[in-house]
């Protein structure tokens, strides 16, 4: 999805001599995906990115499965996840399968004494509450309420928060995160009917080159383990870089809804895709304008996929007793739909102010022990007349 971008100083030709003022070479690094056949960037470091001083013992952060198989409409009260000081420790995986992990986090503190790299998954960090800066070697991205931060696997980063009040909804994807294929032309450009375009993409800015030696802790995640590495040089020693592989951001508030005379199906809300799942954005929009339209969604059966909704803000006309940070999981195999009374109530309404993130995975999700701790056990009964 990202367009070509470049920051800092780079040589005129790739894989050629690029020297420091003292005559020594800068260290070139190719950061490539799917071998050498997909997106990549070329990075120029003050020092080789390979100077490892010590390696600590890895420890597990693998989600602990509490409910592997189930057929129950489920709701999790996300804001019941207690805030914690540390960013990584605050991340609580709640719904997982072999394609993605969904986590909630409420970190109080910025990352100051270590850096983090997810080597097994792209990350989409949705900012529900809080402001700050995503800091990487590629440059910095300021974030605020409603931003999706898309962090490709292998990116070393720090999260710098402005205050202690932060709520994050995090998706780890074991395949690349992309803009929906149907919104891109053969060259990758977003087309006219896309609900967002390249102007809406926030790319890294303000490249800060850290030409520093010392002991720099980088916690690297791979296959459910965290490996503590100590490197001898600062990981943000980028002199310059160019390419298509870098972190970027999109605000849910810049997603332009697609509406119609009759109720539009969920794919019109699609924002990103990965292998075997999609991510959608529900934003304030005009309701259907056929004179006999029913704005509330119809009952539907998820035959091939689960459905996850993360409620962000606003008034959800198809649900009752919805709170911010609530997650609903409607598993494939049984129908779900609007709560009793909401269909009739929706008729005649012209618009909605709802804000939500939806994920449709095409493999069943499992609930973790952290999910069970915040479950509303009676949610499945909420359709009773």
How confident is the model at residue 214, as a pLDDT?
Answer: 97
Burial group, residue 257, by CB count within 10 angstroms (0-12, 13-18, 19+): middle
Is residue 331 in a domain?
yes
* Residues designated catalytic: 263
Is residue 86 in a domain?
no
Is residue 141 in a domain?
no
Positions in the chain short of pLDDT 70? 1, 316-320, 385
How confident is the model at residue 297, as a pLDDT?
Answer: 84
β-bridge pairing 277-282 and 307-313? unpaired
How confident is the model at residue 320, as a pLDDT?
Answer: 66
How confident is the model at residue 385, as a pLDDT?
Answer: 64
Is 15 annotated as contributing to ligand binding?
Answer: no
How confident is the model at residue 251, as a pLDDT?
Answer: 98
Q: Are 229 and 218 in contact (CB under 8 A)?
A: yes
Is residue 119 in a domain?
no
Is 306 annotated as contributing to ligand binding?
Answer: yes
Q: Is the dihedral of CA 253, 155, 366, 129 positive or negative?
A: negative
Residue for token pair 């803000």 = 313
Is residue 96 in a domain?
no
CATH number of the domain within which 373 lies: 2.60.120.10
Is residue 262 in a domain?
yes
How far apart (Å, rounded) are the C-alpha atoms in residues 201 and 251? 8
pLDDT in tens, 278-325: 999 999 998 888 888 888 888 888 888 999 999 999 876 656 678 999
Residue for token pair 């965290």 = 226
Q: How many domains, in total, are found in the chain?
A: 1
Q: Give φ, ψ of 346 to 5 degrees.
A: -75, -20
Give the pTM. Answer: 0.95
Is residue 204 in a domain?
no
Is residue 250 in a domain?
no
Is 206 annotated as contributing to ligand binding?
Answer: no
Task: Domain of residue 311: give its range.
Answer: 257-378
């Amino acid at each position: 999805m990202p367009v070509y971008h470049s920051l800092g100083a780079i040589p005129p030709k790739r894989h050629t001599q690029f020297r420091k003022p003292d005559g020594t070479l800068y260290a070139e690094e190719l950061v490539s995906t799917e071998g050498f056949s997909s997106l990549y960037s070329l990075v120029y470091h003050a020092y080789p990115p390979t100077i490892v001083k010590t390696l600590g013992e890895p420890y597990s952060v693998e989600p602990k499965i509490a409910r592997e198989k189930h057929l129950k409409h489920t709701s999790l009260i996300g804001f019941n996840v207690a805030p914690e000081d540390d960013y990584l420790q605050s991340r609580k995986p709640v719904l997982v399968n072999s394609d993605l992990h969904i986590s909630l986090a409420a970190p109080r503190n910025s990352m100051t004494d270590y850096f983090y790299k997810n080597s097994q998954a792209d990350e989409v960090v949705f900012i529900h509450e809080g402001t700050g800066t995503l800091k990487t070697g590629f440059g910095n991205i300021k974030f605020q309420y409603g931003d999706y931060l898309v962090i490709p696997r292998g990116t070393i980063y720090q999260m710098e928060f402005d205050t202690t009040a932060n709520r994050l909804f995090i998706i780890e994807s074991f395949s690349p995160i992309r803009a929906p294929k149907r919104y891109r032309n053969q060259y990758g450009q977003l087309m006219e009917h896309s609900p967002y375009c390249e102007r809406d993409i926030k790319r890294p800015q303000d490249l800060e080159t850290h030409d520093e030696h010392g002991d720099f802790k980088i916690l690297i995640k791979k296959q459910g383990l965290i490996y503590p590495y100590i490197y001898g040089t600062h990981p943000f020693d980028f002199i310059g870089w160019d390419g298509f592989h870098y972190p970027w951001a999109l605000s849910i508030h810049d997603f332009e809804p697609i509406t119609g005379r009759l109720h539009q199906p969920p794919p019109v809300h699609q924002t990103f895709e990965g292998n075997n799942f999609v991510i959608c954005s529900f934003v304030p929009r005009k309701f259907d304008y056929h004179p006999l339209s029913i704005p509330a969604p119809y009952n539907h059966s998820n035959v091939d996929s689960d459905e996850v909704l993360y409620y962000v803000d606003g008034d959800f006309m198809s649900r009752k007793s919805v709170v911010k940070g609530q997650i609903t999981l409607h598993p494939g195999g049984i129908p779900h739909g609007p709560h009793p009374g909401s269909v009739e109530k929706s008729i005649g309404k012209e618009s909605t102010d709802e804000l939500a993130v939806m994920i449709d995975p095409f493999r069943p999700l499992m609930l973790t022990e952290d999910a069970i701790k915040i479950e509303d056990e009676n949610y499945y009964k909420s359709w009773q007349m």
